[in-house]
Amino acid sequence: MPPLLELSGLKVYFNTQDGVVKAVDGVSYSVDAGKTLGVVGESGCGKTVSAMAILRLISQPGKIVGGSIMFEGQDLTQISEGEIRKVRGNKISMIFQEPMTALNPVFTIGNQIAEAVRLHRGASKQEAYDAAIKTLEQVGIPSPAKRVHEYPHQLSGGMRQRAMIAMALVLNPRLVIADEPTTALDVTIQAQILDLMVEMKEQYDASVIMITHDLGVVAQTCDDVVVMYAGQVVESANVKTLFAEPAHPYTRGLLESIPSRHKESHGHLKEIKGMVPSPIDLPTGCAFHPRCPDVMDVCKEKMPTLKKCKTGATTACWLYE
Ligand SMILES: Nc1ncnc2c1ncn2[C@@H]1O[C@H](COP(=O)(O)OP(=O)(O)OP(=O)(O)O)[C@@H](O)[C@H]1O
Ligand SMILES: [Mg+2]
C-alpha cells in the first residue's frame, strides 16, 4: 500500500529583509494509513511550517519553492486554491496548540462545527447540529446538547481542546495534523487529551501527524517518528527503534534530555549544548556539526544525505556513511 501522505524534498522559504529563511529545506517523510507519525525537534526547526505547507497555509513572505506533497494521488502543492479548500478541514484537518486561535470567539461551538458540516457535506442546519452534538459527545464533553450553544470562552481549556478535536473529526478526515495539541494544558489534562486523541484516531480510522517537542508524547502516541533539525529530517525510524537505538547524535541528545532517562545524573538533565542555528545563516556541511559530540572534519564540509543504517532507521549523518 502506498503511504497516505508523502512529502518529497519539500522546501518552504521566507523572503525577508534579512535574507532568505530556509524554514523547510528538502524535507521528505511519509504517513501510512491508520498510523501516527511523530515530528520532533527543538523550537524553530520547521515542524509547524512543514505541516502548514501540507494544507497550503503558508502566507507571505513564505512560499513553497520545491518538492511535492502527494495525498490520495494528487500533489497538494500543485492543485488549485478551490481544490485545496476541499481538502482542508475535510480530508485533512488540524488541531492547534491554542484552541482560541482556531475557534472563533464570536460564534458558539456548535455553530462553528455545524458550519463545517454544512459547507463540506451540504447538510441541513438540523443535520449539521445533530452531527456537532454527536461529535461533542464522542470527545467527552458533558451535556453536549447544552454545550453546543456555548461560546469558546465559556469552556475550560481542556474542554476547548476537546471541542477543537470534535471540529477536526466531525468530517471524518483521513489525516489529522496535531501541532503541540497538549502543550498549553496542565499535566493531568494533557494526559486525558492524549488518551482521547489515541482513542479517536482508532474510532475514526484516521492517520495522525503529531508535532511535539515532548518525546514522552511520542512514546505514548506514535508508530513512527521523524526528527527534524534546522529545516531538515535528520532521522526517521519506527518509534521502538528510535528509543532503543537512536542513530543520529541529535536524536541521542534529545533522548538524553528526557528526565526519566537520566536518573544517574541526580536530576540534572543533559542538555544539547549550543543553540539551533538561524535558518538564514546555516553552518556549512551538517547543520548540527557545531553542537555535535561526534563531529568529524567531513561534517564541517559536506552535508550528509539520508541513508538506511543497520538499526533500520534512516539517518543523515557521516557516522553511518
Ligand atoms: N512568517 C515567517 N517569516 C519568517 N520566518 C518564519 C516565518 N514563519 C516561520 N519562520 C521561521 O521558520 C523557522 C521554522 O519555524 P517553525 O514554526 O516551523 O518551527 P517549529 O519547529 O514549529 O518550532 P516550535 O517548536 O517553536 O513550534 C523558524 O526559524 C521561524 O523563525
Ligand atoms: Mg511549531
Q: Do both 277 and 195 map to the same domain?
A: yes
| CB distance 121 to 77 below 8 Å | no
Atom 11 in ligand 1: which residue has the minimum CA distance? Answer: 23
97 lines ligand 1 (CB under 6 A): no
- Decide if pLDDT at 81 tops 50: yes
Kindly state whether residue 75 falls inside one of the protein's structural domains. Answer: yes
Kindly state whether residue 196 falls inside one of the protein's structural domains. Answer: yes
Residue 129 has φ and ψ, to the nearest 5°, of -65, -40
CB atoms within 10 A of CB 267: 7
290: nearest Cα among 304, 273, 310, 305: 273
Among the candidates 147, 172, 197, a domain finishes at 172
Q: Which of 127-141, 148-162, 176-190, 253-267 has the lowest mean pLDDT?
A: 253-267
* pLDDT the model gives residue 80: 97
Kindly state whether residue 305 falls inside one of the protein's structural domains. Answer: yes
Structural domains in the chain (count): 2
Q: Do both 204 and 272 map to the same domain?
A: yes
Kindly state whether residue 160 falls inside one of the protein's structural domains. Answer: yes
Mean pLDDT, range 250-273, rounded to an integer: 74
Could you tell me whether strands 175-179 and 92-95 are parallel, antiparallel, or unpaired per DSSP bridges?
parallel
Among the candidates 156, 172, 188, a domain finishes at 172
Among the candidates 172, 188, 216, a domain finishes at 172
Query: Would you place residue 101 in the very low, low, confident or very high pLDDT band (cuts 50, 70, 90)?
Result: confident
**Which ligand number lies closest to the CA of residue 49?**
1
CB atoms within 10 A of CB 61: 12
- Decide if pLDDT at 221 tops 90: yes
Q: Do both 162 and 243 map to the same domain?
A: no
51 lines ligand 1 (CB under 6 A): no
| CB distance 116 to 167 below 8 Å | yes
Could you tell me whether strands 92-95 and 232-238 are parallel, antiparallel, or unpaired per DSSP bridges?
unpaired
* pLDDT the model gives residue 262: 47
Q: What's the CATH code of the domain at 312?
A: 3.40.50.300
* pLDDT the model gives residue 264: 52
Atom 29 in ligand 1: which residue has the minimum CA distance? Answer: 44
* pLDDT the model gives residue 183: 87
- Decide if pLDDT at 199 tops 50: yes
Instruction: Give residue 80's domain range.
Output: 5-91+173-320
161: nearest Cα among 177, 146, 139, 176: 139
Total-model pTM: 0.94
41 CA closest ligand 1 atom index: 21
- Decide if pLDDT at 190 tops 60: yes
Q: Do both 231 and 193 map to the same domain?
A: yes
Q: Do both 166 and 177 map to the same domain?
A: no
**Length of the chain in terms of residues written:** 321
Q: Do both 158 and 196 map to the same domain?
A: no
* pLDDT the model gives residue 185: 86
226 lines ligand 1 (CB under 6 A): no
Q: Looking at per-residue confidence, does 271 or 247 come out higher?
A: 247
